[in-house]
Structure 1
């Protein structure tokens, strides 16, 4: 039993680490109270099927949820990868439901990307958003503040560099909890 658990855990972690080196653990497993009604017995098996199919395509699954008749799978990958995952999951879940002793509630399968995050994580993010306004949150005070706002200049091995009204601020990377793009502002009359 322990060997099977470790094998499943390795299968979950390996693709996530390969695609996202900063990610140290797979997505958390849902608590029993979070399992949707009608999926109590089948939920662990369903998660295993999703993870196996995603791993075969070298994708990392960020979340699996069931709400309002929709089984949503959020996975990191390109459009073609997500279409392939959707196709494979549809076929596999249809076969599994036909052969399983568990009856699932009706659902619609949706495979999507979690979207672009406001938080900058990779060197590519820092390069892409160079020159944009950002907000850096620190784990402790630096220059009498824990939050600094400015224009992103980049980052190196030791610092995150911001332009604050013409002055360069070098924030020590070990103090930076996150660097975030500002929230989108709404204009009066904007329907979105």
Structure 2
């Protein structure tokens, strides 16, 4: 499988050139159908337009074709992180404090590998989450295997699109 750190070092400069922050680079699927997933966002809006996706996809296609860092054929998927986004950077846990999240750890903490609750934020190198049953839990950022926001009404309200202009005039077939 591909080296994610090497891929990130190729991808991140291209995202930065377009004024985007890289959220995640990941490979999914097996040898028969691998997908390189690239999530990015505008730092000022935390969103990504369709035009941003297309522009980044074209730039990455050129760079990846030239460097050829993935041996097998693969699919390139460029997207925004979405509403129930993955939390991949330490700063994400502060930026989204007050929202509900699910955090999975690589090594159990008090015999648990998964925690859900409201993000309190960062405390040094720890992510603090308020679990309704356990209270506040400090989780070392380095020990987090995966984390994501949970879809709630509060999150939906807070991440409403920048513009819904034209939404009423969209026509569908049938």
- Which structure has greater helix proportion? 1
Q: Which has the higher contact order (CA 8 A, sep 6+)?
A: 2
Indicate the TM-score class for this superposition, using the shorter chain for normalisation. Answer: 0.3 to 0.5
Larger radius of gyration: 1
Structure-2-length-normalised TM-score: 0.45
